[in-house]
Structure 1
Amino acid sequence: MPYADVIDVPTRGGLQIVRDHDGDLEGNTASRQFGEVRVCLLEGGPREMIRPGRLIERTDGEYLRVCRLLAGEAWVFQDGRHGVARGSQLICYDSTRPYKVVMPERFRMVALLLPHRLIGLTSQGTEPLTAKPWHGSQGLGALMSRLLVGLERHGEEVETAIDLLGDSVAGLAAALFAERIRSVADESDVGKQALMLNVQSFVRERLADPGLTPMTVARRYKVSLRYLQKIFHEYGTSPARWIRDERLARCKAELSDPGLDHLPIALIGERSGFYGASHFSRLFRDRYGITPREFRKRG
């Protein structure tokens, strides 16, 4: 699955590129998908990338972009503030709100695109993270900074278990964001976000367990089932639906993996907690409009 080259063009996907500095505007991006996580490489001459609110649509998808400069520097403007990142530093901006990113000189940058649901944050919950650089030389920030460099250099060498790699990247990012938010958010908000992140990590590690239910999760974290449902409701879902969708998403990713073609479809379901081939097939068809067998045949 090699990187695919894409040439930047004005207003591509609601993104406007405005020439405002000396130097060549030409550049290109390359991207690679790891499950639901995407890694992009952007390089080129000085530029500005602007996305005004009028060009943002709900269908664009909700994700947080984490950037790590390999050369040059980036100025990120969002949520009424701006930050400058260079070297091993990390900086974020959110796709659901207007932003501007300026590269004042030739640059090379790797970026991680994380869907909100994978990191346990709503679009509003990312506001404390945007346009604020943080160190990439210590703690969790250092792990993420090095990971992005490694994915940029060696991403094409990953052959199997791509969805699991994506989950691992999302888990590390979630831990990093929780640490960041803890220093700036209200205690009540931190508690909710920390619970959501912990629950998501707990569930993803136990998808194969048929006894995994909202009640077992609530008991594990010593909260009432009603409170757990309230937290998930703020994210537009329920604990039961989220667990089911995570299981189905894992099955879908494994059915797409050529390295797992030798596994029977029923076993793919069991690896994510669906015991009973007909039950798994029905849930998969209800979610994706196609049976697991038909999905695998389509490649």
Structure 2
Amino acid sequence: MFNILTFGEILYDIYDNISVIGGAPFNYSLQLSRLIENDDKLKFITALGNDDYSKKAVDFINNENIDKSLIQILNGYETGKASVFLNENKVPDYIIYENAAWDNIEYKADIENALKENYDIFYFNILSQRNEKSYNTLKNVFKNLNAKYKVCDVTFRKNYYTKEKIKESLEFINILKINDDELALIKELFYPSLQSDNEVLLKAINKDFNIDYIFLTLGASGAAVFYDNEYIFNPSNKVNVIDTVGAGDAFCAALSYAVLKGLDIKNILKFALSVSEETIQLKGGTAIYDIKKVKSKFGL
């Protein structure tokens, strides 16, 4: 039985007055919860406001394989919201409203008690650390956590990051998921003198931060991984792209599941790509694809 803990933002993406539940850690948690078995456990640490969006979120989560015991309902803060705009390539841009409930996750006794358990995977991102309250809670989790795999899906948004927070996160983890734009920013901050070569940069990150698995998504081109001193690239298949929102989260959830299930590194990469390609053919980051079909291709 797998035991999984996730941390970070839950928010509503607002498209032209239509609201869709999301946030990278929520999308990741949801996609991973659908891949694991019913007797596996996934707890999600986040915070919601005491409002209508919160009620909608709880109703949604009640129908999923997610333990909501660590979801805080905070008076005085609103449930997170982000206005989403798709550019001509159907790639999303965001306005993420500040000082939301998820910015103010409190380190309370229930989190402390949850950290007495051993976990197979712990997941977090950089965006969830933008506010000091949630950042300090996450640092307490870092100090007290016992997890086999510690996953960071970078999720840079706007200016909601610092070099120090990135460094702390990279030093903590053993699985990193990053996209090509985020890699360019890490190069600018940490490796300005290195050439803009994916393999060179992933090798440098691996050497400096001792991260076992580094997964790089490359948009329509495909994805790559640096593992055991080897750089492996896998091209994507041509599919009908409807919506890329949540594709990276689905990729990260799928690679996490494949690592847990003990697939070899090439099949971990292929499985993650297959899942993300299924999701981009559907509308929204929480859409349900044919999970059994994809898993069966990999003997899962």
TM-score higher than 0.5: no
Q: Which has the higher contact order (CA 8 A, sep 6+)?
A: 2
Structure of larger gyration radius: 1
TM-score grouping bracket, smaller chain normalisation: 0.3 to 0.5
- TM-score, with length taken from structure 2: 0.34
Q: TM-score, normalized by length of structure 1?
A: 0.34
Bigger fraction of residues in helix: 1
